[in-house]
A = this chain, B = another copy of it.
């Protein structure tokens, strides 16, 4: 059984044309022997964003802490801690953090999709 606080996981920073101020961590993945799906934890710094994109695989998301904006069906909607989000495959999506505090969420993907 693997058990640790997410902040102790190895962190990868993303800052480029598509992604700003994002830290990604693989919480439970193939290296842990997870056979079917993978949990990642992402933190978006104030002013940051994930890429606006779509892909074949789905996301299952829980907002853990903070608040932000989600691109959903062509517009931005507010998200906050405790929100759950299902992004089916091939639906465009993006998170932005326009608040003054970090936005942290768990985002799970099926086996075979890129883990980070």
Contact = CB atoms under 8 A, between A and B. Distances in A.
Given A6-B82, A34-B58, 8 more contacts: A3-B86, A9-B84, A28-B84, A36-B110, A36-B111, A37-B110, A62-B64, A108-B108
A84 B36 contact: no
Interface of A: 1-7, 9, 27-28, 32-37, 39, 41, 58, 60, 62, 64-65, 70, 72-73, 77, 79-89, 91, 93, 106, 108, 110-111
Main secondary structure of the interface of A (DSSP, over half): strand
A27 B62 contact: yes
Nearest first, the 7 A-B pairs at minimum CB distance are A36-B110, A2-B86, A27-B84, A28-B86, A37-B37, A39-B60, A28-B60
